[in-house]
Amino acid sequence: MKKVYLETFGCQMNVSDSERVATRLAADGFEITPDEAAADVVLLNTCSVREKAEHKLFTRIGQVGKAAADRGDKKPLLGVLGCVAQLEGETLFGKTPAIDFVLGTRAVGRVSEAIDKAFGGANQFADLGEREAAYDWSVADAQRHSPYIAFVPIIEGCNKFCTYCIVPFSRGREKSLPATEIVQHVLRLRREGIREVHLIGQNVNSYRPKTDDGLENQPGATPFSKLLRAVAATGIERVKFTTSFPRDFHPDIIEAINEHENLCNWVHLPVQSGSSRILKLMRRGHTVENYLERIERIKASPRRIALTTDIIVGFPGETEADFQATLDLAEYCQFNSAYIFKYSPRPGTPAFEMPDDVSAAEKTERFLRLDNLIRFHQQKVFRAYINQTVEVLAEKISEKHSNQISGHTSCQMVVNFEGAADLLGKIVKVRILESKANTLYGKIC
């Protein structure tokens, strides 16, 4: 049996693709190994969102080759998958001779064929084609990132073309999966014992299937809120969804959350900047005022919905005043957490043509100032949970303390508490006692 080692970079779309790649490979007679040194094939599922992510790929390729040479082994077969693969295609072969084949973002269903072809003697070939008509979106239990949580793709690709972003180029145009298929998928997962599903997509709330099938009887103004209700009606215990695009975040989404307890109280709504001038240059399709209107509606929900976001610092032309506006917005919104990124110019995007005029030192300084502010408010948000009881899905034994269990709340906060393995997979009530950097600590009640 040939052994395959699979490593994943980037977002949950890539994690989800990797789960399906591993499922396909196992079904086709390959063994998935966590041990790189034992592998006949190394697959790297790559991300291209920032320059650093791409450098990582070449560093990893070098390490794989060196580790094999140090062991006196032949270099394993090396396949590059994912966003860098899609964007660079055959040009990757010119950058390093170590790569045997390249599979684009929608070609991953043909991974077994590619490996067989490479073992058969073909080398340096690329498949950047579309998904096969009968593409199987399901994942075998053994290949899931968690035994209790399942990613369910509902839309892939992106039509938004924010000026800084490579994703529309690496993932292609938006394509929504049929609602009936999604609902069937969730029903199956529920029967198999999955407790929580994450509906995933670059912009889940831009969900727009070709037909209304499966959504006809749901109230709501947009297909996404109808889909949320249809998925909630499956009775699965928890439904989370990421990422939401602010412009398309309509009030019916909050109405659906208010009416269905199993729709979790967490919204990830990337704002990117607190300056409407910069948002316009980013072509985000929302202003600060639009964004705050959405925040008001979210905060007005009786469900106490947690908010998280993404922010880019140092976009071309970002002045100290623009950045100050981002600090003000972060102060106002009181995010539960935020991913902050330093702007990274991506060739082929419109922003690449703009002068990258915020110095590296200034980007770092802004990153740290914003990070401090967000952490300060995060601690306030976290402390407000002390002495409150929350429901936590017991997901795994804590890496640091073997007598502790770690899991997430409905609002996606990490909670650790004392407990034994028999609790795993259960949703338990935990009283919060203490708040640390990114984690809450509590006691089962």
Catalog residues that contact ligand F3S under the rule CB under 6 A: 10-11, 13-14, 47-49, 82-83, 166-167, 170-171
> Smaller CB distance to ligand F3S: residue 104 or 419?
104
Q: Considering only residues 157-196, where is the footprint of ligand SAH by CB under 6 A?
A: 164-165, 167
Is residue 412 within the footprint of ligand SF4 (CB under 6 A)? no
168 binds, among ligand SAH, ligand SF4, ligand F3S, none (CB under 5 to 8 A by kind): ligand SF4
Closest of 75, 67, 129, 120 to residue 97, by C-alpha:
75
Is residue 333 part of an annotated ligand binding site?
A: no
Is residue 83 part of an annotated ligand binding site?
A: yes
Two tokens, residue 46: 């790559």
Is residue 105 within the footprint of ligand SF4 (CB under 6 A)? no
Two tokens, residue 40: 């006949």
> Smaller CB distance to ligand SAH: residue 151 or 245?
245
Whole-angstrom distance, CA of residue 88 vs CA of residue 95: 10
Contacting ligand SF4 (CB under 6 A), which of 161, 169, 367, 441?
A: 161
96 secondary structure, DSSP code: -
Is residue 162 part of an annotated ligand binding site?
A: yes
154 secondary structure, DSSP code: -
Q: Considering only residues 368-407, where is the footprint of ligand SF4 by CB under 6 A?
A: none
Which x/- pattern over 217-246 shows residues binding ligand SAH (rule: CB under 6 A)? --------------------------x-x-
Contacting ligand SF4 (CB under 6 A), which of 162, 298, 393, 440?
A: 162
Whole-angstrom distance, CA of residue 23 vs CA of residue 30: 10
312 binds, among ligand SAH, ligand F3S, ligand SF4, none (CB under 5 to 8 A by kind): ligand SAH
Is residue 89 within the footprint of ligand SF4 (CB under 6 A)? no
Is residue 264 part of an annotated ligand binding site?
A: no
Kindly tell me the burial class for residue 260, based on how many C-beta atoms sit within 10 Å of its own C-beta (0-12, 13-18, 19 or more).
middle
* Binding-site size, ligand SF4 (CB under 6 A): 10
Q: Identify the residue whose tokens are 């977002």.
A: 11
> Smaller CB distance to ligand SAH: residue 82 or 270?
270
Kindly tell me the burial class for residue 67, based on how many C-beta atoms sit within 10 Å of its own C-beta (0-12, 13-18, 19 or more).
middle
307 binds, among ligand SF4, ligand SAH, ligand F3S, none (CB under 5 to 8 A by kind): none
> Smaller CB distance to ligand SAH: residue 234 or 244?
244
Which x/- pattern over 165-204 shows residues binding ligand SF4 (rule: CB under 6 A)? x-xx---------------------------------xx-
Burial 9-41 (b: 16+ CB within 10 A, else e): bbbbbbbbbbbbbbbbbbeeebebbeebeebbb
Contacting ligand SAH (CB under 6 A), which of 176, 222, 225, 272?
A: 272
Whole-angstrom distance, CA of residue 9 vs CA of residue 252: 34
257 secondary structure, DSSP code: H
Contacts of 361 (CB under 8 A, 6+ apart): none
> Smaller CB distance to ligand SAH: residue 148 or 164?
164
Whole-angstrom distance, CA of residue 24 vs CA of residue 184: 20
Whole-angstrom distance, CA of residue 16 vs CA of residue 91: 26
Two tokens, residue 97: 């001779």
Closest of 202, 213, 262, 211 to residue 49, by C-alpha:
202
Whole-angstrom distance, CA of residue 98 vs CA of residue 108: 20
333 binds, among ligand SAH, ligand F3S, ligand SF4, none (CB under 5 to 8 A by kind): none
Residue 243, preceding bond cis, omega within 30 degrees?
A: yes
Contacting ligand SF4 (CB under 6 A), which of 160, 208, 369, 426?
A: 160
Two tokens, residue 227: 């889909």
Is residue 203 within the footprint of ligand SAH (CB under 6 A)? yes
Q: Identify the residue whose tokens are 């259960």.
A: 426
Is residue 49 within the footprint of ligand SAH (CB under 6 A)? yes
Is residue 47 part of an annotated ligand binding site?
A: yes
Annotated binding site for [4Fe-4S] cluster: 11, 47, 83, 158, 162, 165
Q: Which residues bind ligand SAH (CB under 6 A)?
A: 49-50, 164-165, 167, 202-203, 243, 245, 270, 272, 310, 312, 341, 343-344, 346
Q: Which residues bind ligand SF4 (CB under 6 A)?
A: 158, 160-162, 165, 167-168, 202-203, 245
